[in-house]
Amino acid sequence: MVDMRAMGRSATSTAKRWGALALACALPAGAAPPTRAATASPVVVDETDAGKLQARALFDRARELYAAGRYREAAEQLEHALKFDPQGKDLVYNLALVRERLGEPDEAMVFVDRYLAMKLDPAERQRAEAFRRRLEGARDEIAEKRRKVVVVPVEVERERAFDAWVWGPLAGAGVAALSGAIFGSLALSTRPSGFVTGRDGTYDDLVARSNDAHAYAMGADASWVLAALGVAGSAIVYFARDSVPVATHAAEASR
């Protein structure tokens, strides 16, 4: 036979646990916990309602996470609990408290408004309205701080890269120019200018010196052409590529 007195005591114990769900530790710093008159009225939880039992377990987990300073995870547990018990006033109110602690007054106000839309006793409504006024003040203060933020423009100093792709052809041009100068000097020194056959040598000597001078001149011309191509190639690579950032500094903000 079922002991009705034992069931009555169990229901009363359950009501006391579930009715005082408001997180005293979730109050803002410096705020006192709600008095007994300000807490939600006890509600008997049907032990056969799996959804409400799951919501209560998630709420207990959220309370543990909050006590450990893990506010974001606590909010996730409360939101999960709300899916099992959408009319859980304490879940909604405590979600607003946690969101406020996370510095999210707009999100907190959504849950306060949801709480105010529920059936509340005068003490609960007075507490929620005071909470909402506090959130409005916090939201306005955050908005004011954002308006005071000054955006400082940043100037990026850029330079063209002088790397191996530039100085490589340039170094080759220098070598070619040096070779051109040497070949040019040899061409001038071996050129048979004022050569007199018999006095300065034989006709074959004249022909040989003329051929040597011509070869040196051809080498000088080729070297100068290579030098010019190297300089042109280095210039094309240097100016054709985009410049690269080398430094950044704040520009003077215009007023």
Instruction: Please report the DSSP string for 143-180 in residue order.
Output: HHHHHTPPPPPEEEEEE---SHHHHHHHHHHHHHHHHH
What tens digit of pLDDT does each residue of 229-244 get? 888 887 887 777 776 6
- CA pair distance 128, 113, nearest whole angstrom: 9
At 157, the pLDDT band (50, 70, 90 cuts) reads low
At 220, the pLDDT band (50, 70, 90 cuts) reads confident
- CA pair distance 92, 109, nearest whole angstrom: 11
Chain centroid to Cα 64, Å, comes to 32
Return the pLDDT at 191: 79
Return the pLDDT at 4: 33
**In whole numbers, what is the pLDDT of the chain averaged over residues?**
75
B/e letters for 234-243, b = 16+ CB within 10 Å, e = fewer, are beebbeeeee
**Per-residue DSSP letter, 199:** T
Q: Residues 23-31: what's their mean pLDDT?
A: 40
Q: Residues 23-50: what's their mean pLDDT?
A: 42
What tens digit of pLDDT does each residue of 105-145 get? 889 999 999 999 999 999 999 999 999 999 888 888 777 77
How big is the CA angle at 136 (ends 131 and 141), to the nearest 5 degrees? 125
- CA pair distance 52, 18, nearest whole angstrom: 10
By CB neighbour count within 10 A (0-12 exposed, 13-18 middle, 19+ buried), where does 201 fall?
A: middle
Name the phi and psi angles at 102, rounded to 5: -80, 0
Instruction: For the chain, give percent helix, strand, coil, nearest 5.
Output: 65, 5, 25
Residue reference for tokens 């408001």? 22
Q: What 3-state class would DSSP assign to 244? A: strand
Token pair listed for 208: 């040989």
At 166, the pLDDT band (50, 70, 90 cuts) reads confident
Name the phi and psi angles at 247, rounded to 5: -165, 155
At 30, the pLDDT band (50, 70, 90 cuts) reads very low
